[in-house]
Amino acid sequence: MPQLSGGSEKPRRWIKRYRTETAASTASVLSTVTAFPLDSVKTRMQTYPYAGALDCVRVTYNSEGIRGFFRGVTAPLASVTLVRTISFSIYQRSKYVYSDWMKQNLGFCPLEHVNKNGAYPNLGTIACFGVAGATAGSGITFIACPFELTKLSAQVSVLMANQKNADPQKQAIALSYHNKGTFKTLANIVKHRGFSGMYTGLNLHLLRDTLGTGIYFATYESSKQLLTTFSGKDAHKNPIAVLAAGALCGIVSWALICLYPSRQL
């Protein structure tokens, strides 16, 4: 029995030590699997002339069944999980570094402030969490850019191929991306553009992810602190505040991404 108890302690200690990475990867898997059918419908509607979302769902289900909505989920599942896990890990470490720097140089510790009962967000906390988020966003860009470019290439390939008065050679290249998996699409990009082609639009991607991730975490921490203060409960005892803050920061960051023009292709 003591051996069983000792053996069970090691996984617990590991999970506690890497709780940020464990939580981020678990949340990424669940969110990707849950949202992928919607993303699949969006991609199909961008590629084919469906009458609407319901028509797309009907045609996909009749021709491919439930599997059709999850076609190609494996690669995004791996890439999104990797990117988000690294992003949250960088953010978690960065916010402690920036908070310690502000405490030593400015006499204000953002992490101590947010843990005070009844405290509200201020410029110092927003700056600390925003810069930490921007650091995470810029750090993951070099991993996320090839996957993002691959996804965009697959989504718009048919639309580009069907353009009127387009160069026949360019149309043939666009069609070569049609109905290919993630890795075949990535191989096509390398074939036509070289290895550097995987980072086409890197500067704009870097700007988008730096701003978007900075706003994401600043909004999350600030709204969570506000909701916790208003409820009069500790954040660990108020999961509704955490849930609402997560939803709000997602809406705000996605609004920025949707408004930001994509010029990677």
d(CA 90, CA 65): 40
DSSP class per residue in 180-238: --HHHHHHHHHHHH-GGGGGTTHHHHHHHHHHHHHHHHHHHHHHHHHHHHHHTS-GGG-
Is a pLDDT exceeding 60 seen at residue 265? no
> What's the whole-number mean pLDDT along residues 141-166?
67
Same domain, 10 and 94: no
167 token code pair: 């160069």
Q: Which of 11-20, 121-130, 214-223 has the lowest mean pLDDT?
A: 11-20
80 plus 47 within the same structural domain: no
Same-domain pairing of 153 and 194: yes
- Give pLDDT, residue 263: 43
- Identify the domain containing residue 134 by its residue range: 72-259
pLDDT of residue 12: 67
* pLDDT digit string, tens, across residues 61-99: 998 888 888 876 776 777 778 888 888 889 999 999 999
Same domain membership, residue 67 and residue 90: no
Kindly compute the dihedral angle of the four CA atoms of residues 13, 19, 21, 26, in this order, to the nearest 10 degrees: 110
| Tokens at 191, concatenated | 């074939």
Q: Is residue 177 pLDDT above 60, yes or no?
A: no
- Please tell me whether residue 67 adopts helix, strand or coil conformation: helix
pLDDT reported for residue 235: 57
- How confident is the model over 189-244, as pLDDT tens digits? 788 788 888 888 888 889 888 988 999 999 999 998 898 888 776 656 677 888 88
